């Protein structure tokens, strides 16, 4: 087995890998990083100042085909690298899992912070395996028969997407179950009444964001994070002044799998299916 300097950053998830540059990752090291990613869910590689855009893309492609985002700004000459610039409003300070409004949400992301504030600007990740496991057995049984509708609409009306996914998904590589709803994109559980859906989602959001299931990472400029989008949420802490700029590649997704829904969509008496659809 390849030997790497691996240091867990919390009891819940996350590990730092010291002294490793993405540009130097060979097949054996990549295989070890993949194992570590499945174990820790998010990996931090702080020693990557000067990472070339082509090397950033090349590493991402080892995980899978890369997304060209439909509207976020791109790095000049590199359509697969999204630029997240706080001066342009890129402050994702709501807990979320990336792009769950897609029928095939991304499986992973590779983010480098190329400019950061002197103080603040950390990112937090939450372990959604542990969120699912924290629920009571009766509630877990209920959730495994439910789906959730995830929606995004651009404020200017130029883009809208929605998808329906299991509330509990099964990781295709580990076989573990995780909670798969998030505050940013999950709108409702269609098998329930509106009131039931709102109440249950509020509880699930709270469980998924619980601090005992979170790691918080203090960036150094040039540092890289790689995370598994299938079993995590994340939150960019908006506690800073100055500018924060990241470059991210996102690995195209799979179709979240779980137990099939055990009930039809709820339809209020006297209302058509069209009337109750978002």
Catalytic residues: 96, 98, 234, 248
d(CA 265, CA 82): 37
Q: For residue 15, what are the β-bridge partners?
A: 8, 43
Nearest to 145 by CA among 93, 190, 199, 92: 190
Phi, psi of 22 (to 5 degrees): -60, -35
Nearest to 69 by CA among 102, 114, 112, 116: 102
| Nearby residues of 174 by Cβ (< 8 Å), 6 or more positions away | 38, 231
d(CA 251, CA 106): 5
d(CA 89, CA 52): 25
| Residue 41 zone, left/alpha/beta (φ > 0; ψ -120 to 50; rest) | left
HSE-up of residue 173 (Cα within 13 Å, Cβ side):
13
The encoded tokens of residue 138 equal 């009766």
Place of tokens 């798969």: 180
């Amino acid at each position: 087995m390849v030997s790497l300097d691996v240091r867990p950053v919390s009891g819940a998830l996350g590990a730092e890998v010291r002294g490793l540059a993405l540009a130097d990752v060979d097949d054996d090291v990549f295989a070890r990083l993949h194992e570590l990613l499945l174990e820790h869910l998010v990996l931090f590689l702080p020693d990557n100042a000067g990472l070339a855009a082509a090397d950033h893309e090349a590493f991402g492609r080892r995980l899978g085909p890369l997304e060209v985002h439909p509207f976020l700004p791109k790095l000049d000459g590199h359509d697969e690298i999204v630029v997240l610039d706080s001066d342009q409003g890129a402050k994702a300070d709501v807990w979320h899992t990336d792009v769950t409004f897609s029928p095939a949400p991304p499986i992973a992301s590779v983010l480098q912070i190329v400019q950061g504030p002197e103080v603040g600007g950390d990112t937090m990740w939450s372990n959604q395996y542990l969120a699912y496991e924290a629920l009571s057995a009766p509630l877990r049984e209920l959730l495994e028969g439910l789906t959730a509708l995830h929606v995004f609409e651009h404020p200017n009306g130029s883009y809208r997407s929605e998808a329906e996914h299991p509330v509990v998904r099964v990781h295709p590589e580990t076989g573990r179950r995780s909670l798969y709803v998030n505050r940013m994109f999950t709108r409702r559980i269609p098998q329930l009444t509106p009131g039931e859906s709102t109440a249950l989602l509020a509880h699930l959001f709270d469980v998924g964001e619980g601090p005992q299931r979170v790691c918080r990472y203090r960036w150094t400029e040039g540092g890289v994070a790689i995370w598994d989008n299938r079993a995590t949420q994340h939150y960019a802490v908006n506690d800073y002044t100055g500018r924060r700029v990241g470059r991210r590649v996102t690995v195209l997704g799979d179709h979240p799998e779980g137990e099939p829904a055990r009930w039809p969509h709820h339809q209020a008496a006297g209302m058509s299916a069209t009337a109750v659809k978002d």
